[in-house]
A and B are shown apart, each in its own frame.
Chain A
Amino acid sequence: MNYFAGIDVGSTAIKVAVVNETGDIAGVHVTASGSLFHKNSLEALNMLLSNLGLKRTDIRYLIATGYGRKLFKEADDSISEITANAIGAFEAGKAFGGVRTIINIGGQDSKAIQIDDTGNVVNFAMNDKCAAGTGRFLDVAARNLDLDLEELGEYHFKSEVAPLNINSTCTVFAESEIIGLLANGHGKAEIIAGIHYSIASRTVRLAKRVGIEDRVYFDGGPALNKGLVAALQDELGRELVIPEHPQTTTAFGAAILARNEFEAEQSLVPA
């Protein structure tokens, strides 16, 4: 059987997805990017292959995406993460009755993508330059609060008062703002809820720039954070579709594209 892979070399994590001939997910793997992008990418791919009991030659087509896509020379082709994300969300969204708007929050950027009913990108927006409202922001906040990143979600719901306002958009300034709030005796839960709402409202502004249609698909690592999901849903006033593996949607999209490209190339070969 032929398999196809997508590898998403992101700023914070490397995500790999493998699909079979029918486009079903065979497996996914996520690992930290570290500083050795290329070495860690290769290891992540090999790890997934050995987990699945596959050989490198079973992968007939491999597409790289994400910030490190150009560095990964082992790939057959590369594609921008916006297109890959759109393809992945379109495919994964079918199970939920189809999606037209995608919100992605990554390690160092956030995006809103609008797709048409065939999965093509119609419009998109990306945050400018700085890390405001991205996964990095959550990372910094968790460190300030002496918590693990995974704990932020549950703390969100522990707050008994209204979420605090976090006004700084700059991640570095927000850090000092959080320290200030702690020094004033505020509890962790209300600060965390405030952080989630601050990210959510920035993200909704971004999404409104591209136009929000139909169901909204939310992916990227921060979509694992249930507190952030609740805040985003509240700000958006709409239901969110959260896939089973929110981190690997883009890698999955690249794998689907790899499958499609392979088929297109095969059909060109005269029988």
Chain B
Amino acid sequence: MTNETSKVIPIQPVSYSRSRQAGESQDVLDHIIDDFQDNPESMQYFYDLFRSVYCHGDEIKHEGMLVGTTCIQAPEELIYAFGATPMRLCNGSYHYDQKGAEFMPSKSCSLVKATLGMLNSDNVIPKIGKPDMIVNPTTCDQKKKSSSMMGDMGYKVYDLEFPNVKESEASRQYWQRSVRQFATELRQLTGRKLTKKGLQAAFNKTGRAQAAFRKLHSYRLLSPSIILGKDIFLVTNAYFFDDITRWTEKVEALNVELEARKQAGFKAVQSKAPRVLFTGSPPIFPNLKLPLLIEEAGGVVVADESCSANRMLYDMTAVDEWMVNDMVDSLADKYLKPCTCPIFTKNEDRKRRLLDLVKSFDADGVVYQAFSGCQVYEMEYRSVAEAFNQAGIPMLYVETDYSPDDKGQLSTRIEAFLESMKNRKKQKQRALG
């Protein structure tokens, strides 16, 4: 029934760059760039990249078929070897977190909610196009159960079976079989064969990227720091979706600039700035809430143990025999043996890695982030805390999610933590002097 006073108001389309979703990224990016001094010039490429992809919604181009990955345990070398492009789908947007909460349990982890919220959206940002396949490693429970949800959304999903125990030989063989099976699946998808040459080229591609990252990582050993952690997280986040060759070149350029900074004795922070090791649930743009709070309060993130940064790029493949089957097995080993994800029953390696990072990067303390609902990180906190406690290293445990509403409380906790580290250091020096 209509009359002259009542009418249907049509939807006014809002361009992406003016949407609240773009605004979220815009705010974080402005903060990263404008609220800190002395940003490296070579970071401009990454700032522009995130501006284009997240704030303007520009399209990301790729070669061959597109294979989305929901976890770092999906061997990207194999995807490259079939001429396809891997794209890490793990998402850090609060906007998508809320979209995901429309159909997922409210207590599930922000990362999984945001990733599924994004995939279920009409307007997927980063604009990558529809993946030809999504490979979903069966790591944590929430990712496992996401598989059928993504299937229901109309995606072709491949479950890459992953073991729960790391140390056993049975697990190792199971995982190697699983990776071989994945290769078979990729052959069917792409219609191409796996060759020694193709795999070697893929190893070279990722190997060069890893070498650039390791070099970048080594500049973080310097004290006082010459680069801030917020920039490193942006660089490693870009690896999720950027063209790998271009990414590598840009990191190499950054390394050249950092070498010059090193030679010039440049300082990016005050010499007394507490050095922080970051571990736990992965910071993914635009959710860089915690690292930014640390650095705003005068600390510096000098190293991390997380699957969005260090764990993704640090370990290299060690090949014994350059035969296709042996290469695939070596690749599988690289993804299992050094993995410090808390989904495993035991995790002595993670503790060892953390203590080692504290030592080599001369960290004054550790910040442990657990996303609310990420049971494995929440539960593993106890044993990690115990290890640090024994070693006399202070740690701050923060349970949080993508929502910005706890920033006020978190900043108080972080400042108090940094203050206590400074005091501890002063006391130590006094005792020595």
Residues of A within 8 A of B (CB): 67, 79-83, 109, 118, 120-124, 126, 128-129
Which chain B residues numbered 377 to 433 have a C-beta less than 8 Å away from chain A? 394, 399, 405-406, 408-409, 412-413, 415-416, 419-420, 423-424, 427
Partner of B409, one of A123, A124, A129: A129
Of B394, B399, B408, B416, the residue contacting A83 (CB under 8 A) is B416
> Would B427 and A109 count as touching, CB distance under 8 A?
no
CB neighbours (8 Å) of A118 from chain B are: 427
| Chain A residues whose C-beta falls within 8 Å of the C-beta of B406 in the assembled complex | 128-129
Given A118-B427, A120-B424, A128-B399, A80:B409 Cβ within 8 A: no
State in angstroms the CA–CA spacing of A92 and B409 once bound together: 26
Chain A: minimal CB distance from B408 (Å): 7
Q: Could you show 12 A-B contacts with beta carbons less than 8 Å apart?
A: A80-B415, A82-B412, A82-B419, A83-B415, A83-B419, A83-B420, A120-B424, A123-B394, A126-B413, A128-B409, A129-B405, A129-B409
* Min CB gap A118→B, angstroms: 7
Other than A83-B423, A120-B424, A128-B406, give 18 A-B pairs with Cβ distance below 8 A.
A79-B415, A80-B415, A80-B416, A81-B412, A82-B412, A83-B419, A83-B420, A120-B423, A120-B427, A121-B419, A121-B420, A122-B394, A122-B420, A123-B394, A126-B409, A126-B413, A128-B399, A129-B405
Q: CA separation between A128 and B400, bound complex, in Å? A: 9
CA of A81 to CA of B417, assembled, Å: 11
* Cα A159 to Cα B168 with chains together (Å): 61
Could you tell me if A121 and B409 are in contact, using CB atoms closer than 8 angstroms? no
Contacts of B394 in A (CB 8 A): 122-123
Name the B residues within 8 Å of A83 (CB-CB). Answer: 415-416, 419-420, 423
Given A109-B409, A126-B409, A129-B409, the answer on whether A121 and B423 have CB atoms closer than 8 Å is yes
Asked whether, in the complex, the Cβ of B405 is within 8 Å of the Cβ of A121, the reply is: no
Residues of chain B contacted by A82 (CB below 8 angstroms): 412-413, 415-416, 419
- Alpha-carbon separation in the docked complex, A145 to B292 (Å): 43
| Alpha-carbon gap, A112 to B416, bound state (A) | 13
B27 to chain A, nearest CB (A): 19
Q: Which residues from chain A contact B408 at a C-beta distance below 8 Å?
A: 67
Q: How far is the CA of A124 from the CA of B420 in the complex (A)?
A: 10
A80–B299 Cα distance when bound, in Å, is 14
**In the assembly, what is the distance between CA of A135 and CA of B394, in Å?**
29
Q: Which 10 A-B pairs have the closest CB atoms?
A: A82-B416, A80-B415, A121-B420, A80-B416, A83-B419, A120-B423, A129-B406, A80-B412, A83-B416, A126-B413
Q: How far is the CA of A109 from the CA of B408 in the complex (A)?
A: 11
A124–B413 Cα gap in the complex (Å)?
A: 9
Write out the residue numbers on chain A whose beta carbons fall within 8 Å of the beta carbon of B415: 79-80, 82-83
Let me know if B399 and A120 touch, CB within 8 A: no
**Chain A residue with the shortest CB-CB distance to B403:** A129
Pairwise interchain contact A124-B427, C-beta atoms closer than 8 A: no
Bound-state CA distance A44–B399 (Å) is 36
Residues of B within 8 A of A123 (CB): 394
B398 to chain A, nearest CB (A): 9
- In the bound complex, residues from chain A placing their C-beta under 8 Å from that of B423 are 83, 120-121
Assess the B416–A121 pair: CB atoms within 8 A: yes
Residue in B406, B423, B427 whose Cβ sees the most chain A Cβ within 10 Å? B423
Question: Which chain B residues (85-134) contact chain A, with CB distance < 8 Å?
Answer: none
Q: Report chain A residues within 8 Å CB of B405.
A: 129
* A249 CA to B413 CA, complexed, in Å: 18
Would you give the shortest CB distance from B89 to chain A, in whole angstroms? 28
CA–CA, A83 and B418, complex, Å: 10
- The answer to whether A126 and B424 touch across the interface, beta carbons within 8 angstroms, is no
Give the shortest distance, in Å, between B307 (CB) and chain A (any CB). 24
In the complex the two chains form, what is the Cα distance from A67 to B409 in whole Å? 9
Q: How far is the CA of A121 from the CA of B72 in the complex (A)?
A: 37
CA distance A32 to B405 in the complex (A): 24
* B373 → A minimal CB distance (Å): 13
Q: Are B412 and A126 in contact (CB under 8 A)?
A: yes
Chain A residue contacts of B424, Cβ below 8 A: 120
Q: Which residues in B have their C-beta under 8 angstroms from that of A124?
A: 413, 416
- B396 → A minimal CB distance (Å): 9
Find chain A residues with CB under 8 A from B427 CB: 118, 120
Q: Is the CB of B419 within 8 A of A79?
A: yes
Give complex CA distance A247, B47 in Å: 47
- Give A128's nearest chain B residue, CB to CB: B399
| Cα–Cα distance between A118 and B426 once the two chains are bound (Å) | 13
With both beta carbons as reference points, the residue of chain B lying nearest to A118 in the complex is identified as B427
A123-B421 Cα distance, complex, nearest whole Å: 11
Smallest beta-carbon distance B180→chain A, Å: 45
Residue of A with least CB distance to B396: A124
| Bound CA–CA A85/B37 (angstroms) | 32
Can you name the residue of chain A whose Cβ is closest to the Cβ of B422? A83
Least Cβ–Cβ distance between B243 and chain A, in angstroms: 40
In angstroms, Cα B394 to Cα A80, docked, is 17
Q: How far is the CB of B386 from chain A (nearest CB, A)?
A: 12
Compute how far the CA of A109 lies from the CA of B409 in the bound complex, rounded to whole angstroms.
Answer: 9
Instruction: Output the residue of B394, B406, B416, B423 with the most chain A CB within 10 A.
Output: B416
Give chain B residues whose Cβ lies under 8 Å from the Cβ of A80.
412-413, 415-416, 419
**Shortest Cβ distance from B418 into A: residue:** A80
**Beta-carbon nearest neighbor of B423 in chain A:** A120
Q: How far is the CB of B292 from chain A (nearest CB, A)?
A: 16
Report the Cα distance A81→B416, complex, angstroms.
8
Which residues in A have their C-beta under 8 angstroms from that of B420?
Answer: 83, 120-122
Which residues of the partner chain B approach A126 to less than 8 Å between Cβ atoms?
409, 412-413
**When chains A and B are docked, how far (Å) is the Cα of A166 from the Cα of B424?**
41
* Chain A residues whose C-beta falls within 8 Å of the C-beta of B413 in the assembled complex: 80, 82, 124, 126
- Nearest-neighbour CB distance to chain A for B390, whole angstroms, equals 14
CA A83 to CA B399, docked complex, whole Å: 21
User: A148 to chain B: closest CB distance in Å?
Assistant: 29
Q: Tell me, rounded to whole Å, the shortest Cβ–Cβ distance linking A199 to chain B.
A: 18
Most chain A beta-carbon contacts within 10 A, residue among B399, B419, B424? B419
Nearest neighbor of B400 in chain A, beta-carbon distance: A128
Q: How far, in whole Å, are A82 and B411 apart by their CA atoms in the complex?
A: 11
Q: How far is the CA of A81 from the CA of B419 in the complex (A)?
A: 11
Please give me the residue from chain B that is nearest to A119 by CB atom: B423
Residues of A within 8 A of B399 (CB): 128
